[in-house]
Amino acid sequence: MTFRTRLLLAFAIAVSATAILVSYAISSTTTAAFERLDDQQTRQLAAQFQREFEWRSREVTRRLDAIAASEPLRHVAADLGRTGADAAPYVDLATSLAREHDLDFLDILDREAAIVSSAHYPARFGYRKEWVLEKIDWKTRGAFVDTEELPDSQATALLTVRTVSSGNSPLYLIGGRRLDRDFFESIPLPAGIGIELQLGRPDRGRGYRGAAPDLSYRIPLASRSDNLQAALILSGSRPELSQLRGFLRWIGLAGAGAGLLAGLAVAWWASSRVTRPVRSLADGAREVAAGNWDARVEVTSHDEIGELARAFNHMTLELAQQRDRLIQVERVAAWRELARRLAHELKNPLFPLQITVENLQRARLQHPEQFDEVFRESTGTLLAELASLKRIVAQFSDFAKLPAPRFERVTVAPFIDSIVRVFEPQWKAPDQPPIHAAVSIDNPTMTVEADPDLLGRALRNLVLNAMDAMPGGGRIVLRAFQKGASVVIEVGDTGAGLTPEECARLFTPYYTTKRHGTGLGLAIVQSVVADHGGRISVSSSPGHGATFTLELPSTRNHDGASSTH
């Protein structure tokens, strides 16, 4: 993840989270305030509804009182109070009384709580409702909720009980209204307020019917027994509140969404603004790494980033200056080294030349009779040393004027085989320490774009170095394999190996570990590898030989740059 992406995420999260939290807080607070207000209104409604319900209860009681006080019922009570009275003629009485007084339920019971007449379940005559005989003052007991049995079902009823006394044989009246939708719809309620009757037993939990409301208010009702709990639930699914809540929710969501978008935009702008100078710095660093020591970064601010840009520019300026100084120093050092090497190389053959000429002079003067023989030996020595001088000059000349490579597609396998064939006779010469060659090519068809002459010279130099490192014979390993977009060629030996210091200086021109040699061989190898856009490295440790690794790009672009992936 880039720095800009992290910055973008950080800004976006910070701004968005803030916006979302603020939106949520505002909408929650507002919603809570409106809900409190609505709850207050609902409570008022509930109180009003409760008063209305109680009035209906009193109405039921009043109607039953009217029945109890009516003449027909007093007559029935008097009649049934006689010994041996027949209740059969009154089996239809409750039906007509209930209809007359607009009651849904009416039972007339005798002194033993046996039903004499039932308006809602006429067939139940003779069955008993013994609970009516409980020691309760029904006169003062108000209406209560109970379940009433019907021929095919049960119904919830608001009932009251009255006693009609006649002598020692009271009649009991149980009457009431059905608690159903019609009953509740007859009680005026504001729009959006619903009412549900909740019946349940304490051990069975709620017996709620209907969908969960937005707001609810519970009004407990008196029931006949503790086993039956009754309550009215006022549900305030008021459309205004729901709409308002929805509106606030949408406002909050819109605010959060806008905050999110704004956060993203701000984060994008801020991260872009912050990372632009950093990118410039990174680009400048890449240019420097690519060799453009004159790369500079534009300073656009006076803050830490500006300070960093100025420091970078200063650094690159210093680096360029130091590079120039280093180049000069290295150039001087190289000239000195060259002069030293040249002096060293030339001194070797010059001294024998001088001795030989002095011997010739001496022989002519002191031993004229040996002059011809001395002349012959001396001229041979002179010619050999002159050849050595010429070789030295040629090497220096070669190194100085290495030609520009001319690239072509070279198949690695036969190329290395050709190198090996050059040296094979020498390795197998009977008077030479045996050198065994091991060639390992990963892919016989592997190719590399290279100058075959220059690359061949470089490989021959490495092989020569390996042979020089094994004066007593040994093993040379030539290996080539594909590594990504590069071809790697390794030349290894089993010689004495190199110390780390030697490895570090190995590619310095004129540096050599051999007693004789210009020290240009590896420099030539390095120059060839560099011209091919590759790299050369050495791995070695004392006593374990050395392995030189050439890493060359497989293909080159049209502009001559190597192609890597």
Partner 1 sequence: MRLIAFLFLAAASLFAQRPRYGGTLTVETRETVHSLDPASMPPEIAALIFEPLAVFDSTGALKPGLAVSWWMRDPTHRRTQFRLDDGITAHDGSSVTPRIAAVALTAPGRVATVSGDVIAIQSTDPAPNLLTGTMLVLRGVNGSVQGTGPFRVAEFEPGRRLLLAAHETYRGGRPFLDNVEILFARQHADQLRDLDSGRAQVIDLLPSEVRRQQQRGRRVWTSPPQHLIALAWKRDRPAARNAALREALALAVDRQPMLQVLLQRQGEATGALLPQWLTGYAFLFRTPRDLPRAKYLTGSQTVPRLVMQADPSDPMLRPLADRIALNARDAGLSVRVVQSGPADLSLLRVPLSSVDPAAALEDAARALHAAVTLETLTLEGVAQAERRMLADHWIVPLFHVPTMLALAPQVKDTTPARSLRWRAEDAWLQPQ
> Binding partner 1 by CB under 8 A: which of 1, 71, 83, 88?
88
Least Å distance, CB 125 to partner 1, is 5
Quick check: 309 and 281 in contact, CB under 8 A?
Answer: yes
Q: For the chain, first and last CA: distance in Å?
A: 21
How far apart are alpha carbons 159 and 17 in whole angstroms?
A: 59
CA-CA distances (angstroms) from residue 188 to 48, 51, 196, 217, 305?
10, 12, 14, 17, 74
Choices 120-128, 202-210, 378-386, 401-409; region in contact with partner 1 by CB under 8 A: 120-128
Choices 68-76, 88-96, 196-204, 270-278; region in contact with partner 1 by CB under 8 A: 88-96
Least Å distance, CB 154 to partner 1, is 13
> Binding partner 1 by CB under 8 A: which of 10, 123, 332, 350?
123
Cβ neighbour number for residue 41 with a 10 Å cutoff: 16
Sign of CA dihedral 318, 320, 323, 329: negative
> Binding partner 1 by CB under 8 A: which of 31, 34, 113, 127?
127
210 contributes a contact to partner 1 by CB under 8 A: no
Torsion of CA 49, 52, 54, 59, to 10 degrees: -150
Q: Which is nearer to partner 1, 92 or 318 (CB)?
A: 92
Least Å distance, CB 116 to partner 1, is 9
By DSSP bridging, strand 229-236 and strand 144-149 are unpaired
Least Å distance, CB 68 to partner 1, is 23
Torsion of CA 40, 43, 48, 52, to 10 degrees: 160
How far apart are alpha carbons 73 and 67 in whole angstroms?
A: 7
Question: Interaction with partner 1 in 516-555: which residues (CB under 8 A)?
Answer: none
Least Å distance, CB 152 to partner 1, is 6
78 contributes a contact to partner 1 by CB under 8 A: no
Least Å distance, CB 222 to partner 1, is 29
How far apart are alpha carbons 263 and 266 in whole angstroms?
A: 5
Q: What are phi and psi for residue 362, nearest 5 degrees?
A: -65, -40
> Binding partner 1 by CB under 8 A: which of 124, 178, 279, 457?
124
Name which of 493, 494, 520, 488 is nearest 507 in CA terms. Answer: 520
Choices 9-17, 83-91, 248-256, 539-547; region in contact with partner 1 by CB under 8 A: 83-91
Least Å distance, CB 158 to partner 1, is 24
Quick check: 512 and 518 in contact, CB under 8 A?
Answer: yes
> Binding partner 1 by CB under 8 A: which of 72, 126, 210, 220?
126
> Binding partner 1 by CB under 8 A: which of 49, 125, 172, 415?
125
Name which of 23, 3, 2, 10 is nearest 267 in CA terms. Answer: 10
Task: Count the residues of the shown chain that bind partner 1, applying the rule CB under 8 A.
Answer: 15
Q: Which is nearer to partner 1, 11 or 125 (CB)?
A: 125
Least Å distance, CB 98 to partner 1, is 16
Q: Which is nearer to partner 1, 75 or 390 (CB)?
A: 75
72 contributes a contact to partner 1 by CB under 8 A: no
Q: Cα–chain-centroid distance for residue 75?
A: 91
Least Å distance, CB 31 to partner 1, is 51
Element housing 16 (H / E): helix 3-69
Over the window 144 to 183, marking each residue x when it contacts partner 1 by CB under 8 A and - when it does not, the resulting string is -------xx-------------------------------
Choices 80-88, 199-207, 220-228, 371-379; region in contact with partner 1 by CB under 8 A: 80-88
What does the radius of gyration of the chain's CA atoms come to, in whole angstroms? 58
Least Å distance, CB 87 to partner 1, is 8
Written as one string, the DSSP assignment of 426-442 is HHT-TTS--EEEEEEES
Interacting residues toward partner 1 by CB under 8 A: 86-89, 91-92, 121-127, 151-152
